[in-house]
Amino acid sequence: MSELPDERHHVRSLLMRESLLDRDLQARTERPVVRMLPNVHVVKVGGRSILEAGRNVTVPFVEALRAALVTKKLIIGTGGGARSRHVFSIGLDLGLPTGVLAELSAADALGNAHILGALLSPEGVVAIPPALFGHLLPLFIRAAPGVIFNGVPPYSIWEHPPAVGRIPPHRTDAGCFLLCETFGCKSLTLVKDVDGLHEEDPRVNPRAPLIREISAKELRRRSLKTLPFDRVLIDLLENARLLKSFQIVNGWKPDLLEAALEGEHVGTIVHAGD
């Protein structure tokens, strides 16, 4: 192909002169990916469901975390819970956009991260400031049995406007998923106050049957009214290269945490594929 005159100054590389928007070029960049933290587990601890559910729920679960930290390396993300939902409602009333709501919600999950960090201090497991967390993660996780971060991805005012309404679509489940995928961690466990995914919200219909295992594709097809995790996880799972499934477990049954980390099927497993 004859090149047209080019007055740009290039650095020689595989992608030199290319439009990164060209589909053929994009396909050529598909390569195997290294796993940066292959022996580390990511655990998302629900805000409203665990950390704010009262001492009777929180303390036994924290003890389960403490026990797991003896043998396993954990990256623990926290949810923002009731305060994030409250700040969303105030922000919405004030007419503030999705990006601002996302920026605000980081603080609530960070508060919960610090509560959990205070409880796990004897283990040397603390809440890491978000600005340091990503870059220093491999160092921290080598130095301590676990680290805690606010599960909120650092999208802030760069959060995507959602298809419906104004609530930020990438919340703490998504932040934990993306981190787990990028660092090639061993597993992602979402700890909630339900046994897993049900045919209907079990808080509304306690008899709703549990779905033990489901694919992203099936989940998309069924379009359930509510999910016990950020809906954007379906999209993220479909595009994941390393993280091919995650499990939702009930943190009100603290023994399930260790089982889930051992790879046992004790809640709902959502997997990529058909």
Partner 1 sequence: MKSEVLTALGEALVRGSLTDEELLFQTGAGPGLPILPDANVIKLGGQSLIDRGRAAVYPVIDEIVANLSRHRMIVGTGAGTRARHAYSVALELGMPTGVLSVLGTFVSMQNARMIHYLLARHGIPFIEPAQFAQLPLYLEERRAVVFFGMPPYTYWQQNPAVGRIPPHRTDTGAFLVSEVFGARSMIYVKDEDGLYTADPKKNRGAKFIPKITLAELASLDLDDVVVERAVLDLMAHAEHRRTIQVINGLTPGLLTRALEGEHVGTLISAD
Rule CB under 8 A: which of 5-34 touch partner 1? 6-34
Distance of closest approach, residue 255 Cβ to partner 1, in angstroms? 26
Answer whether 121's CB lies under 8 Å from 142's CB.
no
Distance of closest approach, residue 113 Cβ to partner 1, in angstroms? 16
- How many chain residues touch partner 1 (CB under 8 A)? 91
Interface with partner 1, residue 94, by CB under 8 A = yes
The stretch near partner 1 (CB under 8 A) out of 37-45, 79-87, 121-129, 257-265 is 79-87
Nearer to partner 1, 100 or 257 (CB): 100
Interface with partner 1, residue 236, by CB under 8 A = yes
Interface with partner 1, residue 206, by CB under 8 A = no
Contact with partner 1 (CB under 8 A) among 54, 55, 122, 131 = 131
Task: Render 108-161 in DSSP notation, one character per residue.
Answer: HHHHHHHHHHHHTGGGT--BPPHHHHHHHHHHHHHHSSEEEEE---TTGGGPPP
Distance of closest approach, residue 126 Cβ to partner 1, in angstroms? 20
Q: Which of residues 150-189 bind partner 1 (CB under 8 A)?
A: 153-167, 170-171, 175, 178-179, 181-184
Interface with partner 1, residue 221, by CB under 8 A = no
Interface with partner 1, residue 86, by CB under 8 A = yes
The strand pair at 146-150 and 187-192 is best described as: unpaired
Contact with partner 1 (CB under 8 A) among 1, 55, 56, 274 = 1
Task: For the beta carbon of residue 165, count every other beta carbon within 10 angstroms.
Answer: 9
Q: Is 247 helix (H, G, I), strand (E, B) or coil?
A: strand
CA distances from 59 to 54, 66, 149, 252 (A): 8, 10, 19, 10
Q: Which of 69, 82, 175 is nearest to 126 (CA)?
A: 69
What's the length of the chain? 274
